[in-house]
Amino acid sequence: MEGRRFLHHRIYPVLDSLRMHLTRDYGNSESRIKDPLGLIHFDIPSLAKIQTQFGKSSVQHIMQLIESRLATLRSLAGCAIISHETISNSTFILVKFPLGHGRLSTLLYDATTSLSSTLSGDFERAVPQLSNLIELRFGTGVIRPETDRPFRDIYYDALVDAIVQSNQHNDPIRRGRQAELRDIIQNQRIESVYQPIVSLWTGEAYGYEALSRGPIGSVFATPLRLFDFAEQVGQLHALEEVALEKAMTYFQPEVPNLKLFLNINASMFTEEDFVLDRLRFVLEGRGLEPHNIVLEISERRSIEDFDQFNQILNQYRNAGYLIAIDDAGAGYSSLQSIVSIKPDFIKIDRSLIQNIHEDKLRQKLVEALCQAAMACECKVIAEGIETSEELTQVLHLGVPYAQGYLLGRPAQNLQPVSGLLREALRVSTSNARPQSTFTTVGDIAKPVTTFTADVEAREIVTYFHQNEHVTGIVITENNRPIGLVMREKLFRRLATKYGVSLFWNRPISQVMDRHPLILDKSVSLENSSVLSMGRSAEQLYDLIIVTNEGRLHGGLTVQMILNSLTNLQMELARDANPLTGLPGNRRITIELSKRLSEAKAFSVIYADLDHFKWFNDAFGFQKGDHAIRALSEALRKSVAMLPEADRFIGHIGGDDFIVITTSENAYDLAKTIRSTFHTEFENAFPMPENGSWTVRDREGNVMEVDGLTISLSVLRCDPPFSEISQESIAACAGVLKREAKRESQSSIVFGVYADMVSSQSV
């Protein structure tokens, strides 16, 4: 409270005095002040010491020198002095910036440096015996007019900023760093590097995030230290402006329609046209369009007024820019930001992605964010992908875009996605499919009509009139899709009051949809249905574009996807075992073929009930069916913890089952199956009072057993698979199963395919 009273007593007199000057220069209405103003505060902390040593007259002489110098100055570093006011030992100066200057906080810093140099010269000439004791401390604040806040409050905030800055510890190291930061900003000594953001459904770069780096070898080489210090000394806006300009200047995409993601602190969106004007200026010089730019909002401080913030953001949206929320799930990037801002993209922070394949809670949180994104009609980008396991998991959760060292490191040039990575993405996308799917969008895509972006709208209209059955066409550049035109939307736009005059003779690029849904041909039908239904209502029935390594492959509609899925479900129902609902022999054959084609190690586990014929004869077929279902349930529970891409369960027939898994712990999985089956069976069939059953083996010999047992064979198959066939796998597994059957209790036998073949066991 003491500090607050001190500021009130110190500031409000200054406010009243400065308002008098503003009224004199600008008239009675403060609303006439449209341009930003600058405030400079300085004082001399050593005045108390000087007064003790040299007397009060010495202090008065110093203050008179300052007042005399300010009375003769008309400008500082190009900033016109409007007024100044001295209260006690503190001096406040109000300045007007030169027109067209963008880096206001840097200009104020230059003004304080100029004033400090001038006053130091005055002190050396007039009071040389005291000059070494006089240390000036400066602070600055920018007054940016806002339509919905009283000027008195805005001035108050700027004055507080200036006083706080001038009272910060002002040691030589800090002054040196301030000078270095000023040099970085003035000479634009910032390097921009670009990290790819990859579409996981096409395997191509969707865009690049621009990341800023300070001078190599400097204390500000790392961006965190650079931007944090700039914020501390009031230079954040000036630094961000340089970073934006450098990032856009060196963004030179060879592939059309790539997005440039620009990091912008939320505090930058405080002026009506500040960032917008700078973006427009640089874009015009680069030949880029607003739709190429994604403004990635980072929140160093929480957003206090979302209504006001959205009013400013809407200006950018209306201009064509896209909006992203950075670091969702960390720091200030809360769910409130997502719900209130309704961004085009949500970037999930690395803290939620790291080791996500091992953490069910992280998986649920990311899945929930994906659901929230669909509700907000925006897209999710997973940040910090560093391992193939993380990549596979986010694919399985339905994340469409990702970024991280695994996908590409930051570089000065725009690095394309490597062929090896595209192949790895294809395999991961395939592995991320649900078990029930073995058809992709590439299998059902149809040819589509294409035009180039420079074709006039009237030619497209003529084409639609001549081809009534065509609902949409794809706009391409070098056979790569860059846009979509739907018949109904084009005609609707032309039917508006000035539609024909505005667009009839204009290139179709001005009216095409620049953000259609584009999928690689390897995407499964089920995944494509989720993605297509997650589009906005306006895009829900638009064509879906299918690519092959980034080049146009064809197109399809939601109706085609739904019809194919319906047919697949009917086919799967016919193929599934009616007793257990598990896939039958045809699906097992397809799954084995798929595993062999992927050239990745896998294991085959055969499960077979022992003495099942005796059990079925003794207790009847209903309980026999119950026992088979108990085994199928044991298999389901045992593999439930494995990623979906690592497991497959099939019902061969009768009491024979198969599990195919890429898990390295297949033998441990078999032990889990055995123990789980015994638990399931004992719950369903309590033991007799004497604790055992009398059964006969296959040769008719009488045996005492403690329940129905199970035989398991585990066959590990390692690449290369050029000499492996499904028949040879079945033969090797049969040998292992016969060995397991020789045991009197539930048993597991393990074998390696290559070893069994080399020893000529089969």
587 alpha-carbon distance from chain centroid: 36
> What is the number of helices (H) and of strands (E) in the chain?
27, 26
Coil/strand/helix, residue 427: helix
Q: Indicate the length of the chain as a whole number.
A: 762
Given the DSSP bridges, would you call strands 293-298 and 259-265 parallel, antiparallel or unpaired?
parallel
pLDDT in tens, 571-588: 666 677 888 888 888 888
Distance between CA 415 and CA 430 in Å, rounded?
25
Q: Which residues pair with 659 in a beta bridge?
A: 605, 649
pLDDT at 758 over 60: yes
pLDDT in tens, 155-195: 777 777 787 777 765 566 776 787 788 788 878 888 999 99
The whole-number pLDDT of residue 762 equals 47
Q: What percent of the chain has pLDDT over 90?
A: 20
- Give the largest Cα separation in the chain, rounded: 123
Q: Give the CA radius of gyration of the chain.
A: 36
Distance between CA 582 and CA 584 in Å, rounded?
6
pLDDT in tens, 524-540: 787 788 778 767 777 88
pLDDT in tens, 55-105: 888 888 988 899 899 888 888 888 888 888 887 778 889 888 887 666 777
Residue that wins the pLDDT comparison between 559 and 695: 559
Output the DSSP codes for 251-284: ---SSTT-EEEEEEEGGGTTSSSHHHHHHHHHHH
> Residue 446 carries which DSSP code?
B
Neighbours of 207 (CB within 10 A): 27
Coil/strand/helix, residue 189: coil
Distance between CA 520 and CA 640 in Å, rounded?
29
CB 142 within 8 A of CB 105: yes
Given the DSSP bridges, would you call strands 137-143 and 90-96 parallel, antiparallel or unpaired?
unpaired
Instruction: Name the region of 660 (left: φ>0; alpha: ψ -120 to 50; beta: rest).
Output: beta
Average pLDDT in the 659-675 region? 90
* Residue 10 banded pLDDT, cuts 50, 70, 90: low
Ordered domains of the chain (ranges, CATH): 2-170 (3.30.70.270), 190-430 (3.20.20.450), 441-566 (3.10.580.10), 576-758 (3.30.70.270)
Residue type, 164: V
Distance between CA 27 and CA 24 in Å, rounded?
6
Report in angstroms the alpha-carbon separations of 585 from 369, 504, 650: 38, 59, 7
CB 341 within 8 A of CB 305: no
Q: Residue 268's closest CA among 386, 372, 142?
A: 142
Residue that wins the pLDDT comparison between 333 and 113: 113
CB 552 within 8 A of CB 480: yes
The whole-number pLDDT of residue 461 equals 94
The whole-number pLDDT of residue 515 equals 84
Buried b (16+ CB within 10 A) or exposed e, 374-411: bebebbbbbbbbebeebbbbbbbbbbbbbbbebbbebe
610 alpha-carbon distance from chain centroid: 52
Output the DSSP codes for 477-505: ETTEEEEEEEHHHHHHHHTSTTHHHHHTT
Coil/strand/helix, residue 387: coil
Angle between helix 558-575 and 585-598 (nearest 10): 120
Q: Residue 34's closest CA among 147, 190, 113?
A: 147
Within 13 Å and on the Cβ side, how many CA atoms surround 708? 30
pLDDT in tens, 686-734: 666 555 666 566 566 666 666 678 999 999 998 888 778 888 888 898 8
Distance between CA 260 and CA 206 in Å, rounded?
9
> Residue 513 carries which DSSP code?
B
Distance between CA 150 and CA 135 in Å, rounded?
35
CB 727 within 8 A of CB 762: no
343 alpha-carbon distance from chain centroid: 12
CB 637 within 8 A of CB 594: no
The whole-number pLDDT of residue 658 equals 93
Q: Which residues pair with 298 in a beta bridge?
A: 265
pTM score, whole prediction = 0.61
Q: Residue 691's closest CA among 678, 679, 710, 705?
A: 705
Angle at 403 between CA 397 and CA 407, to 5 degrees: 100
Contacts of residue 723, Cβ cutoff 8 Å, sequence gap at least 6: 757
| Segment holding 654, helix H or strand E | none
**Hey, what are 527's tokens?**
């995944």
The whole-number pLDDT of residue 2 equals 42
Neighbours of 2 (CB within 10 A): 6
Q: What burial class does residue 447 get, using C-beta atoms within 10 Å of its C-beta: 0-12 exposed, 13-18 middle, 19+ buried?
A: exposed
Report in angstroms the alpha-carbon separations of 538 from 396, 487, 542: 27, 13, 8
In this structure, what are the phi and psi dihedrals at residue 570, rounded to the nearest 5 degrees? -65, -40
pLDDT at 674 over 80: yes
Q: What is the rounded average pLDDT for all residues in the chain?
A: 81
* Residue 128 banded pLDDT, cuts 50, 70, 90: confident
The whole-number pLDDT of residue 100 equals 63
CB 278 within 8 A of CB 285: no
